[in-house]
């Protein structure tokens, strides 16, 4: 193949790839959140309204890198070359529904990690529980990725990470991220759409069961967050500011007698058929990693995985497709 012909085919292939990406993006339509479990709380007029910051949270670290706006209803936390920032709930909660509307920093954000999570690591150093939303920054032109993780009773040797591409730009506006935690299940929601469900079972020996605090942080994860540490935080582009609003704490504070025995708050029931279809669609189209399918890390799938929680077939197809595209491009360039 001549030089001109080779260049033509390379350009043709690149155009096809752009077309496929555009088609995939347009087909990743928004997911309906009507009648979701996440919204059951929003329809209740009770005492669990979004509180002002000073009423329910305290600054964890970051001195001047935490700022309050809208009378404490919105919180900005920033990462610069000096430090990150974070805040934590004043109470520990045993089960409940916890959410925040978050707007992430834009442009080049490689190495930046924003987290919204529950943990009791400050109380139980060796046997802590944790439920994570982690947002992993990226290079310019590539979207943030979202990661969920679960630890129970200090089970850090078995990381239960899952990662997803979002079907919207999380830097353009606020989007709601929610965790529902009961004594028998954990659900992660994005804008009211369930993206992950963990059920307590005999196979899962380390289900989170101790009271936890609610955290929000921004910090430097350069060693791992973007392409395994290949791209690091560039502080010349900072500060990186994550915005939190509509913070919701609807759980059982352990300091309250009402959260013990029969006075505990009712939590929603099971997902509907429509919600399960929406979750399956998200996992099939947008999940890019699940510990259940990582045979390099776990030669035998952890016992709670079973069928892997859904989305495995789509994940395998995307990996095979990526390998084929790389092979095709390598072949064309070698022929030029």
Which residues are catalytically annotated?
A: 130, 134
* E-only strand ranges, the chain: 57-61, 66-69, 74-79, 85-89, 93-103, 112-119, 130-136, 145-151, 162-165, 175-181, 185-190, 193-199, 213-220, 240-253, 287-290
DSSP strand pairing (145-151 vs 130-136): antiparallel
Compute the Cα dihedral for 117, 121, 126, 129 and give only its sign.
negative
56 in Cβ contact with 188 (< 8 Å): no
Phi, psi of 44, deg, nearest 5:
-95, 130
d(CA 119, CA 130): 4
Q: Say which residues have a Cβ less than 8 Å from residue 284's Cβ, sequence separation at least 6.
A: 310, 311, 313, 314
Pick the closest to residue 194 from 101, 277, 270, 279 (CA basis).
279
């Amino acid at each position: 193949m001549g030089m001109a012909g080779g260049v033509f085919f390379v350009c043709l292939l690149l155009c096809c790839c752009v077309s496929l990406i555009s088609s995939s993006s347009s087909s990743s339509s928004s997911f309906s959140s009507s009648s979701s479990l996440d919204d059951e709380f929003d329809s209740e007029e009770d005492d669990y309204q979004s509180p002002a910051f000073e009423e329910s949270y305290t600054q964890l670290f970051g001195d001047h890198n935490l700022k309050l706006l809208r009378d404490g209803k919105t919180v900005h936390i920033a990462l610069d070359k000096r430090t990150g920032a974070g805040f934590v709930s004043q109470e520990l909660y045993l089960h409940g529904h916890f959410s925040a509307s978050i707007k992430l920093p834009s442009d080049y954000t490689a190495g930046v990690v924003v987290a919204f999570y529950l943990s009791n690591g400050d109380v139980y150093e060796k046997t802590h529980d944790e439920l994570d939303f982690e947002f992993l920054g990226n290079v310019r032109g590539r979207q943030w990725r979202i990661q969920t993780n679960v630890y129970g009773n200090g089970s850090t040797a078995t990381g239960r990470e899952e990662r997803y591409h979002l079907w919207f730009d999380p830097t353009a506006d606020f989007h709601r991220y929610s965790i529902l935690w009961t004594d028998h299940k954990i659900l992660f929601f994005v804008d009211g759409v369930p993206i992950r469900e963990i059920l307590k079972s005999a196979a899962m020996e380390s289900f989170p069961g101790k009271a936890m605090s609610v955290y929000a942080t921004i910090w430097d994860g350069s060693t791992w967050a973007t392409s395994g540490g290949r791209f690091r935080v560039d502080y010349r582009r900072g500060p990186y500011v994550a915005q939190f609003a509509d913070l919701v704490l609807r759980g059982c504070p352990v300091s309250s007698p009402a959260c013990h025995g029969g006075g505990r708050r009712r939590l929603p029931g099971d997902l509907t058929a429509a919600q399960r279809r929406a979750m399956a669609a998200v996992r099939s189209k947008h999940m890019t990693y699940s510990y259940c399918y990582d045979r390099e890390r776990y030669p035998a799938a952890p016992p709670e995985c079973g069928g892997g929680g859904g989305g495995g077939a789509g994940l395998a197809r995307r990996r095979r497709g990526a390998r084929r595209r790389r092979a095709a491009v390598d072949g064309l360039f070698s022929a030029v």
